[in-house]
Amino acid sequence: MILKRFILQHRMLVASAVALSAASALSTMALLSHINAMATHGVHAGDTAPLWEGAGWLVAVLATGAASQFILARLGGDLVAQLRIDLSRRFVDLEYETLANEKHTIFGSLIEDVASIAPLVLVAPLLAYNVLLVVLYVSYLASVSPPLLAILAGFLGVTVVASMALERFLRRRFDALRDANEKVFEYFRYLSEGKKELALNAARAKHVADELIRPAIGRSRRLMVQVHTGLGFNEAWTSTVIYASVFVIVYIGYASLALPQTTIMRFVIGALFLSGPVAFIVSAARQVGVGTASLRHLQRVGLDLDGDGSSRRSAVQGKGGAWQRIALRGVTYAYAGEEEGRVALGPIDLDIQRGELLFIVGGNGSGKSTLLLLLASLLTPRTGELLIDDVPLGRDTQPHRQRFTGVFGDFFLFPHVLDASGRPLSDERIRTLLTSLGLGSLVQVEQGELSKLTLSTGQRKRLALLQCYAEDRDIFFFDEWAADQDTHFRDYFYRTLLPDLKAQGKTVVAITHDDRYFALADRVVKLESGRIVSDTRRRDPGVAYAAGDQSADHRVG
């Protein structure tokens, strides 16, 4: 697991922290012995040797403890950084389909779970320190009075049994609390991403605040109270049992065992010193419970950090190799959470030839974007298969994905313009593309980074198109790219950009509603209710297609 790998990777620092913790425990034990000796034998007037010896042990306790804490702070910083790096890499490797279904859940992990898992490593050396202290104190108490130690051990045994039972009870509460916090994060996302809508609709804003966020926070609060009440009760119970054991030890030591006062005093002082590490071991259950709940949460959402990550794909890959035809055969797809048996798309049979200019049309919800995601293998068909030149696509879909570049309907705009190998495009080339897209006066570039992304939706789509030109893949796709463009750029897109891409040998798949430009496509595939209802082809590239003109068409299915 991640903690084991981290400890092995930083084994020298961990070993140093444990060694210093042991040295601190031994120094503390020596200080206890010195205090007991002073209490038993007294100190003669003018004798400063006991004072200097005690001061020396105090300095040793401080020095070893401070050095140990410094190393623990270093380990904590390293662990948080490592967890964030590992999680970000897992995010990169995570399938789009998983992320789309669990977006709010997974994003919360970067914030909540990292902060909860890190203390698991930090508590390990401290546990070692306190366990060693317990062993040393018990050894010392055994040398003072075995009968009294037996009484103390009985009390501590009851404490351990009760703590273990409480831990099992609280484990589900920890998981429920993590899930409740996750729901709070989801609703907080409504506040940031839906701010404009909330600002315009006071009733919706009130609904989000009063009907969603307030109850979610209330459930999180109740679970938090339950969890921390249980943990607090465990700590209070432990302290009470220890004090009760001291009370019983003093009574039995005098009344039943008739032990000398010096023996009882030495044992009581040692037992009180023992209460500190025992209380810490019990209180560590709080950090362990929260941390292990976060580890279980990462496993549930597909971000399991077990393993060394050796199977991770290289971030830089070439194109997907030569191909002539991409085909879908009997493909269906249903989104998570849909009604049982309801299919969002399919069955679909579709061939795309290399170099085609294909338009996908249809009403809202007809499955156009889903079809595009299936073609790019970002979604896995429920049934059927994707074939490349009649060969089924294997489990490694990354080479096929490297054939695609384009602009999604819900695209994200990155500020760095990179080519297909991940290298920044030259500033000169970027400026040329910006000028051709009408953005030369609005956006500057320096070392491959765009100066401005806060533009209108249509202008942002042009910047996204610039990224596509930089990647220069085999297949360009556009999901309603022209919908937010002005008349000039819409016409420029259909009559200049798309034909130019086709002339370069690119395959172009465009989702569109602009029927007056259908004549420019080699094919127009129409979807209704997730099915292909028409597949219109031009017999000859020089023969224009006109909507409703059957003489120039060849319709399939």
Q: How far apart are CA 94 and CA 323, in angstroms?
A: 26
In this prediction the pTM is 0.67
Position 162 confidence tier, pLDDT thresholds 50, 70, 90: confident
Decide if 310 is inside a domain: no
Q: How far apart are CA 530 and CA 448, in angstroms?
A: 41
Same domain for 347 and 270? no
> Is 545 a residue whose pLDDT tops 50?
no
CA-based nearest residue to 38, from 54, 55, 18, 20: 54
Decide if 290 is inside a domain: yes
Top-ranked range on mean pLDDT: pick from 21-30, 221-230, 339-348, 532-541: 221-230
* Per-residue confidence (pLDDT) for residue 495, from 0 to 100: 94
Position 309 confidence tier, pLDDT thresholds 50, 70, 90: very low
Residue 393 sits in a domain whose CATH number is: 3.40.50.300
Look at phi and psi of residue 341 and say left if phi exceeds 0, alpha if psi is from -120 to 50, else beta: left
> Is 325 a residue whose pLDDT tops 90?
yes
3 vs 214, higher pLDDT? 214
Q: How many domains does the chain have?
A: 2
Position 539 confidence tier, pLDDT thresholds 50, 70, 90: low
Domain edge (last residue) among 300, 317, 333: 300
* Per-residue confidence (pLDDT) for residue 428, from 0 to 100: 93
Decide if 319 is inside a domain: no
> Is 185 a residue whose pLDDT tops 60?
yes
Domain edge (last residue) among 300, 333, 352: 300
Residue 118 sits in a domain whose CATH number is: 1.20.1560.10
Q: How far apart are CA 221 and CA 214, in angstroms?
A: 10
CA-based nearest residue to 465, from 487, 443, 520: 443
- Range from 84-88, 158-162, 167-171 carrying the lowest mean pLDDT: 84-88
Q: Are 367 and 361 in contact (CB under 8 A)?
A: no
CA-based nearest residue to 329, from 351, 300, 308, 303: 351
* Per-residue confidence (pLDDT) for residue 337, from 0 to 100: 62
Decide if 110 is inside a domain: yes
- Stretch 488-504: mean pLDDT: 94
Domain that holds residue 346: 325-403+473-555
C-alpha count within 13 angstroms, C-beta hemisphere, residue 17: 23
Same domain for 506 and 370? yes
Same domain for 20 and 104? yes
pLDDT single digits (tens) 68-114: 778 877 777 777 677 777 777 777 777 777 766 666 566 666 666 76
- Mean residue pLDDT across the chain: 82
Position 301 confidence tier, pLDDT thresholds 50, 70, 90: low
Same domain for 389 and 519? yes
Beta bridge partners of 446: 449
* Per-residue confidence (pLDDT) for residue 413, from 0 to 100: 87
Residue 110 tokens read as: 């970067």
